[in-house]
C-alpha cells in the first residue's frame, strides 16, 4: 500500500492572542528519530512553555505506530489535534512538533485545540510530499542458461538486482515493490524460483 510521506523538513508559525505556535515537520521512520527531533527542539527552545507532538510511523491508513504528547497542556488539546490532522491528510512516516510560547492570554481548551490543529495544518501546507512505496527483498534462484531471462523479468516489474552470487546456480537478491512480489513470482515459470528462508 502506497501513501504520502514528507520528503524534507519544513516549518510554519501561527500566532493567536500573543501566543506563538512554532510548527516543525520531519520525516521519520523510527522512534529514535522521533525522540532525536523532539529533544533537539527542546534544546533549541528551552524557554518555550510546551513542546507538543504527534507522529505516524508507517502507513497512516493502518497505523501500528502512531501517537502524541501533550507536554503539560490539558489532556487532548495539543498532541491529539496534531495527530488528527496527520491522520486526516493520510501522511505517514512523519513527525510534527509544535513549540508553544504563551502570550499571557488563556485560550481555553477549545481555543488550544484549534490553535494546535491550525499550526499543524499550516506546516502540512508547507510540506513537499512524495509517494512512499514499500519494498521487499527476495532471493531468486536460476541456472546460468536462464540468467538473462530472469534479469529481463526483474526489469519488467521495475525491480532492482541488489546482488548476484554465482555457484552451482545463480542466486540473485532482488528488491521490488512489495505489491509486485506475487506477480513476479508467478511470472518466473521455468526461469527461476523464489527462495524462502
Nearest C-alpha neighbor of 127 from the set 11, 20, 33: 11
Provide the pLDDT for residue 71. 92
Report the distance separating Cα 68 and Cα 93, nearest Å. 14
C-alpha cell at 36: 532525536
* Whether 25 and 67 share a structural domain: yes
- 73-107 tens-digit pLDDT: 999 999 999 999 999 998 999 999 999 998 888 88
What's the CATH code of the domain at 93?
3.30.230.30
Q: Which domain holds residue 30?
A: 3-132
Q: Assess whether 122 and 58 both reside in one domain.
A: yes
Residues of the chain with confidence (pLDDT) below 70: 1, 63-64, 197
Q: Hey, how many other C-beta atoms are within 10 angstroms of the C-beta on 44?
A: 12
Would you state the pLDDT for residue 63? 65
Q: What is the number of structural domains in the chain?
A: 2
- What does the pLDDT read at residue 195? 80
pLDDT score of 37: 96
* Contact (Cβ atoms closer than 8 angstroms) between residue 101 and residue 50: no
* 138 phi/psi in degrees, rounded to 5: -125, 160
- Rounded Cα distance, 146 and 142, in Å: 6
Amino acid at each position: 500500500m502506497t501513501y504520502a510521506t514528507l520528503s524534507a523538513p519544513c516549518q510554519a508559525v501561527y500566532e493567536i492572542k500573543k501566543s506563538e505556535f512554532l510548527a516543525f515537520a520531519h520525516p521519520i521512520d523510527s522512534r529514535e528519530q522521533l525522540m532525536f527531533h523532539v529533544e533537539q527542539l527542546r534544546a533549541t527552545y528551552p524557554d518555550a512553555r510546551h513542546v507538543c507532538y504527534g507522529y505516524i510511523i508507517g502507513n497512516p491508513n493502518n497505523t501500528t505506530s502512531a501517537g502524541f504528547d501533550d507536554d503539560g497542556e490539558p489532556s487532548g488539546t495539543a498532541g491529539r489535534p496534531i495527530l488528527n490532522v496527520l491522520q486526516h491528510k493520510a501522511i505517514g512516516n512523519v513527525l510534527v512538533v509544535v513549540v508553544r510560547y504563551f502570550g499571557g492570554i488563556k485560550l481555553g481548551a477549545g481555543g488550544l485545540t484549534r490553535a494546535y490543529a491550525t499550526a499543524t495544518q499550516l506546516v502540512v501546507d508547507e510540506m513537499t510530499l512524495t509517494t512512499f512505496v514499500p519494498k521487499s527483498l527476495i532471493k531468486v534462484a536460476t541456472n546460468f542458461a536462464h540468467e538473462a531471462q530472469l534479469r529481463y523479468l526483474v526489469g519488467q516489474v521495475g525491480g532492482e538486482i541488489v546482488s548476484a552470487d554465482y555457484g552451482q546456480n545463480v542466486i540473485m537478491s532482488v528488491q521490488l515493490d512489495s505489491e509486485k512480489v506475487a506477480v513476479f513470482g508467478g511470472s518466473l515459470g521455468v526461469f527461476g524460483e523464489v527462495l524462502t528462508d
